[in-house]
Structure 1
Amino acid sequence: MMNTNLEIKTKGILAVITGVTSYLLNCFTELVVVLALLMLFDYATGVIGAYFKKELSSWKGLQGILKKFSFMLLVVLGFLIDFVVSYLIEKVGLQFTTNGFFGLATTCWLIGNEGLSILENLAVIGLPMPPFLKPALTKLKDTADSIGGGKDEE
């Protein structure tokens, strides 16, 4: 009987992990791909900017990689909140879904953040900036922030 209880618990845990993983894979949208590309571009322009300033550092490089990884964890957190909210609402008998609201808002906010960081890095390198990019990226970040009901704490 002990093996049966352990077996049932193990199967339950595996079912939850499989369900959540499947949900997260369905959340892998074009916006997440755009964010991943911008994160790569931001890292690359940051390294180039550090080279121009003669401040290359493997420690800062590692910090940058860990920061990008943490950003992706933040996106996953947003989509997990969507999952939990939808699940709980369904459990009380209501038909409602967040449609990825928290995950998408988090992704858009980070896209704005990464875009602004790329512009800062390119300015360090000395590239001329089109005057419309910074306001557009700031607007994207601020809109994602206001949709989420928060204020930027940076």
Structure 2
Amino acid sequence: MDSINKFKAAVACCVAALTALWGWFGWFVVALCACMLLDYAIGSAAAVKNGEWSSKVAREGLWHKLSIIVAVAAACILDLVVGMVVNNIPSVELPFVYSALFAPLVIAWYILTELGSILENTGKLGAPQPAWFKKAIAAIQSGVDSAGDKIIQNDDK
């Protein structure tokens, strides 16, 4: 029992240190990476199970994952540029300190997309598909889309 408590303490220390280093945003990125890895693994397993595995399709899946990483990087750069403008130009004032807006929305959208794909792939493996889970993912993704649309609409005014 003592070794289990030591292990738990070590894990808690590591998580606390990483949280201090990354903050909430880092864990958001970790969640996206975990979803992408799980989606690729489950999708490959489903393809093998159904006799549909193809190295070309697997390679296309990896390119797709790379494009997600590039899109997230672009959103991070956009947040950096907007933050520099908003926080360093005296004529541009907000009632708060700008840190991030676009990257969290992009990451949330991709996490939800990956979760939908994971659910689809588990169905191909034979797991039952709860309709409410699909609806929940779609509803949350719609909310993220609406938040992004509101940002753009406010910029157009």
RMSD of the alignment, in Å? Answer: 2.0
Residue identity (%): 30
Does the aligned pair in 1 maintain the 2:83–2:100 contact within 8 Å? Answer: no
2:81 matched to 1:84?
A: yes
The answer (yes or no) to whether the contact 1:109–1:144 under 8 Å persists in 2 is: yes
- Structure 1: give runs of 5+ residues left out of the alignment: 1-24
Give the number of the structure whose residues are more often helix, by fraction.
2
Moved over 4 A (4+): 25-28
After superposition, give the CA deviation of every residue in 1:52-104 in whole Å (9 maximum; x if it has no partner). 22111111111111111110111111111111112122343134444311000
Candidates 30, 37, 42, aligned match of 2:39: 42
Task: State the AA in 1 paired with 2:101.
Answer: F
Change in 2 beyond 3 A, CA 1:84/1:26: farther
Q: How does 1:3-152 map to 2 (within 5 A)?
A: 28-93=25-90, 94-96=92-94, 97-149=97-149
Q: SS where residue 130 of structure 2 aligns?
A: coil
Structure 2: give runs of 5+ residues left out of the alignment: 1-21, 151-157
TM-score when normalising by structure 2: 0.72
Match of 1:55, SS state, is coil
SS of 2:79 mapped into structure 1: helix
SS in 2 for 1:66: helix
Q: Against the structure 1 CA distance between its residues 34 and 129, is the aligned structure 2 distance closer, same or farther, given a 3 Å change threshold?
A: same
- The amino acid of 1:33's aligned partner reads V
Contact 2:42–2:122 (Cα < 8 Å) also in 1: yes
User: Taking structure 1 as the reference length, what is the TM-score of the superposition?
Assistant: 0.73
